[in-house]
Amino acid sequence: MSRSLREIDDLVILGRGAPDELKDGRVAVCVAGWSRTLGFVRVYPTRLSSPLKQWSVVSVQVEKNPSDSRSESWKIVGSASEWDRLDRNIRVIGTLDREGRTALIPTLVSGCVSDLNDAHTSLGIVRPSAIRGYLSPREDVVHSVQTTLLGGSLPRTKVNYAMRPRVVYRCSACQSQQEHDQQIIEIGCYEWFRKNPGKEQQVFENLRLGDPNYEKFLLVGNQANHRTSYIVIGVIRWKK
């Protein structure tokens, strides 16, 4: 196997972002996970229909993405030439159960997003405190949805929504003099927007942000073109 290829056979999927449209028109999703051998892993692009669902444990052959120099970033082998058959290159091994989740996640927590930035780490998990959410108007909203050659419509992407969810919080060991204010790109938030127009504000209740009966962690990642700017890929939560 080429040195640029890697078989990850223990990847635990921690979160998925909302769909984006690539330059060639493909609709893709960014996936973040954890591997005992590689640590945090970002896989992009992936298909919206892929079996890379949260808490799935998968085996997948990946290669480095020449357009993304972040050490955590990989792409599935054949992601361009075999896009329509890409899911065949993913094998689901199992699902991480509640006991496994509650054992794993606290071991991955960093004290603050600032620690991740100082270490030039592009993915991590923080435990938020004093957390609250709000909706921010999108300035670059695209109201039209792209259609296929057969007349159907492609899945909606983040830019097709007038609002985007954001979260304000401090970390458990916050170094910042100010609160963190970050966009949430979790796919579940945008699925809620799609299915429940007019009820966008309820998304924060769905995330259990203000529920003291839930443990909450934020899966965060920086942006390829803005390495010091982090976004929330997913809100990991479970009932205490």
Distances (CA, A) of 232 to 64, 97, 133: 23, 23, 12
Q: What residues contact 16, with CB distance under 8 A and at least 6 apart?
A: 29, 30, 31, 32, 52, 53, 54, 186, 187, 233, 234
pLDDT given at position 178 = 83
- The residues pairing with 61 across neighbouring beta strands, listed in sequence order, are 7
Which comes out higher in pLDDT, residue 225 or 98?
Answer: 98
CA dihedral sign, ordered 110, 47, 238, 136: positive
pLDDT band at 151 (very low <50, low <70, confident <90, very high): very low
* Torsion, CA 24, CA 48, CA 193, CA 229, rounded to 10: -70
pLDDT given at position 152 = 43
Tokens 């229909």 correspond to: 49
DSSP state of 188: H
**Mean pLDDT for all residues in the chain:** 90
What global pTM score does this model have?
Answer: 0.91
DSSP H or E stretch at residue 143 = none
pLDDT band at 141 (very low <50, low <70, confident <90, very high): confident
5-96 belongs to which CATH class? mainly beta
Read off the amino acid at residue 228: T
DSSP state of 232: E
DSSP state of 197: T
pLDDT given at position 155 = 62
pLDDT given at position 33 = 98
Q: What is the DSSP string of 56-119?
A: EEEEEEEEE-TT---TTEEEETTTTTTGGGGGGGEEEEEE--HHHHHHHGGGGEES-HHHHHHT
* Domain extents in the chain: 5-96, 99-239
pLDDT at 153 over 70: no
pLDDT band at 225 (very low <50, low <70, confident <90, very high): confident
Digit-coded pLDDT (tens) for 69-80: 999 999 999 988
